[in-house]
Amino acid sequence: MILKTFIGAAALALVANSAVAEGKLSVYHWFEYIPAELVQKFEKKYDVAVTIDTFDSNESMLASLKAGTMGSYDVAVPGDYMVEIMVGLGLLDTIAEGELANMSNIEDQWLNVPFNHGRKHSIPYQWGSTSFSVNRDAYSGNINTTDIIFNPPEQLKGKINVLDSQGEVMALAALHLGMPQCSTDRDQLKSLDALLQSAKEHWASFGSDTAKDVLVSGDAAVGMIWNGYGARARAEGANIEYSYPDQGYVVWMDNVVLLNDAPNRANAILFMDFLLEPENIAAVTNYAMYADGIKGSTEFLDAELATSPEHNPRAGSGPGVFVSVCDQTTQEVYDQIWTRLRS
């Protein structure tokens, strides 16, 4: 029987440890981001049927929830800055102390995070970086600069795929210009808009769910991409090199959050606790090729992850920065810039 009301932290912790549950779980997740075998393991252990719908950006996920899908999903997997936004909008339920038996498995650096103090609504899932990969058959020059995306050499013009992700594109552009995120300076905002409009002329496509495939197929010679997705593209045969630019790169952490009005709240808690077990989250890490924030997972990880160039920033690379959350008025300006870019 699915528990739909809060029955106390101690009771839920008991349920979480009992391996006895039944019913359904509805997950709103990034594409290609969890191995089917792990989902099946959870289903078998708890007799819960899992349904997964996917999204391709934090912004599209939020838009869908705000448009009316709240109450349809139990958990979602937003990035760091989006967790902060969702908390502010009142979209997340609170995880009571003691509900997650494996909460102590979270590494200290990912426990009291600025985007969700005390992990009251979320648990860590995967973390990594966002930059770009370059096909070395198409271009043999210096790739350690964001010029590759925003002022590309002739050999790469018209051959660039950019993530359809407002926060990450804007953050990388800010690094390129040496300006702060969430700027309110009119001249800086004009420069940001001009840069993106100019760069767009040299981009072939916007695509997040296709970011790996276009590099593997050769349809794109440059792809803005997440480091693990870039590693997977390279593993599939693309002769690409991932860049950690001089100007810097984006860092992020994706998180599993408990949604308000979750129709299967007890099973959501079970799923979150399941993902806090080192062996289980390691299965995600080995599949997605990022990193997790769970103590004890290292012994279950594939050895090549430790030496992968996508996971080891070069000496001298610029800083890694999280996407900033702007105040509403400033965000509206950035939304206008993004709308112009995508029109």
Enter the tokens of residue 11: 């009771």
What distance in Å separates the CA atoms of residue 226 and residue 30, rounded to the nearest whole number? 12
Q: What is the DSSP letter of 181?
A: T
Q: Is residue 3 included in any domain, yes or no?
A: no
Q: Are residues 258 and 224 in the same domain?
A: no
Enter the tokens of residue 174: 């800010």
**pLDDT given at position 331:** 97
Cβ–Cβ < 8 Å for 125, 275: yes
Q: In terms of residue numbers, what domain contains 30? A: 9-127+252-304
Q: Are residues 192 and 316 in the same domain?
A: yes
Question: Mean of the pLDDT values across residues 4-11?
Answer: 31
Q: Is residue 187 included in any domain, yes or no?
A: yes
Q: Are residues 315 and 231 in the same domain?
A: yes
Q: Are residues 35 and 72 in the same domain?
A: yes
Q: Are residues 242 and 212 in the same domain?
A: yes
What distance in Å separates the CA atoms of residue 63 and residue 290, rounded to the nearest whole number? 26
Q: Is residue 139 included in any domain, yes or no?
A: yes
Phi and psi at 111, nearest 5°, equal -90, -60
C-alpha torsion 218→224→229→231, nearest 10: 70
Tens-place pLDDT, residues 129-180: 999 999 999 999 999 999 999 999 999 999 999 999 999 999 999 999 999 9
Q: Are residues 190 and 291 in the same domain?
A: no
Conformation bin of residue 77: beta by default, left when phi > 0, alpha when psi is -120 to 50: beta
Q: For the chain, how many structural domains are there in total?
A: 2
Task: Look up the CATH number of the domain holding residue 330.
Answer: 3.40.190.10
Q: Is residue 2 included in any domain, yes or no?
A: no
Q: Are residues 84 and 143 in the same domain?
A: no
What distance in Å separates the CA atoms of residue 58 and residue 80, rounded to the nearest whole number? 10
Q: Are residues 163 and 290 in the same domain?
A: no
| Percent of the chain's residues with pLDDT above 90 | 94
Token pair 């101690």: residue: 10
**pLDDT given at position 22:** 74
Cα distance between the two ends of the chain: 48
Q: What is the DSSP letter of 30?
A: E
**pLDDT given at position 282:** 98
Neighbours of 21 (CB within 10 A): 22
For residues 15 and 39, the model is more confident at 39
What distance in Å separates the CA atoms of residue 232 and residue 240, rounded to the nearest whole number? 11
Q: Are residues 177 and 322 in the same domain?
A: yes
* Residues contacting residue 11 through CB under 8 Å, at least 6 positions apart: none
Three-state DSSP state, 154: helix
Q: Are residues 148 and 70 in the same domain?
A: no
What distance in Å separates the CA atoms of residue 119 and residue 100, rounded to the nearest whole number? 11
Q: Are residues 96 and 136 in the same domain?
A: no
Question: Mean of the pLDDT values across residues 66-81?
Answer: 97
Q: Is residue 16 included in any domain, yes or no?
A: yes
What distance in Å separates the CA atoms of residue 278 and residue 83, rounded to the nearest whole number? 23
Q: Is residue 4 included in any domain, yes or no?
A: no
Phi and psi at 69, nearest 5°, equal -90, -5
Question: Mean of the pLDDT values across residues 311-315?
Answer: 96
**Position 9 pLDDT exceeds 70:** no
What distance in Å separates the CA atoms of residue 310 and residue 321, rounded to the nearest whole number? 16
Q: Is residue 167 included in any domain, yes or no?
A: yes
**Position 69 pLDDT exceeds 70:** yes
Instruction: Transcribe 192-237 into DSSP letters.
Output: HHHHHHHHHTTEEEE-STTHHHHHHHTS-SEEEEEHHHHHHHHHTT
Three-state DSSP state, 127: strand
Q: Is residue 220 included in any domain, yes or no?
A: yes
Task: Please tell me the pTM assigned to this model.
Answer: 0.91
Enter the tokens of residue 6: 């809060």
274-to-125, 148, 190, 207, 286 alpha-carbon distances in Å? 11, 41, 47, 31, 16
Cβ–Cβ < 8 Å for 102, 108: no
Tens-place pLDDT, residues 173-213: 999 999 999 999 999 999 999 999 999 999 999 999 999 99
Tens-place pLDDT, residues 232-244: 999 999 999 999 9
Instruction: Transcribe 249-318 into DSSP letters.
Output: EEEEEEEEEEBTT-TTHHHHHHHHHHHTSHHHHHHHHHHH-SB--BTT-GGGS-THHHH-GGGSPPTT--
Tens-place pLDDT, residues 38-48: 999 999 999 99
**pLDDT given at position 21:** 53
Token pair 């552009």: residue: 173
Q: Are residues 56 and 75 in the same domain?
A: yes
